Amino acid sequence: MQDTSRFAAFGTQLIEVHDWLRGELARLRSDVQHGVRPKKLQAHCLSFCAAVTKHHTGEDEGAFPALAKQFPELKPVLEELAHDHGLITMMLERLEQLDFTDPEDSLRELNGIEAIIESHFAYEERKIIQALNELNAPEWTADQPKFLHKT
């Protein structure tokens, strides 16, 4: 009998990464609200945007194909999630262009991104955590996929 305890952790790890990204977004918002220097905000923004992009690219290239192969019934959900990734990418590109000198404008952009990302993460967690926990991907044990990395 195969030990599935390691595989069950993948869903938990996904939630941990989502929670970390939520925390990074909240910290960026707090920095804007507390008047942190625009250059520091831009650096934090670029770091956050890169982390989200790395996470979504890893899902699109690794997790979603693996899930679709073992759970074909998830294909419509995975396609919807991949579509969300495209929308989020466009919003992050707009955020990266901010100079962060206008706090109201910055918060407006962050509010939009937060709403979409939170909706996306919540949907993803509801729809694929169980499948991730059941996924048979022994290669992930030796080389953890990048969508499960926090940085």
pLDDT above 70 coverage of the chain, percent: 95
How confident is the model over 59-86, as pLDDT tens digits?
999 999 999 999 999 999 999 999 999 9
Domains in the chain (CATH in brackets) are 5-135 (1.20.120)
> pLDDT at position 8, please?
44
**Residue 94: closest CA among 49, 59, 51, 58:** 49
Instruction: Give yes or no for residue 128 having a pLDDT over 70.
Output: yes
Instruction: Give yes or no for residue 53 having a pLDDT over 70.
Output: yes
In angstroms, the Cα distances linking 120 to 80, 107, 126, 150 are 10, 19, 10, 18
> pLDDT at position 29, please?
95
Instruction: Give yes or no for residue 6 having a pLDDT over 50.
Output: no
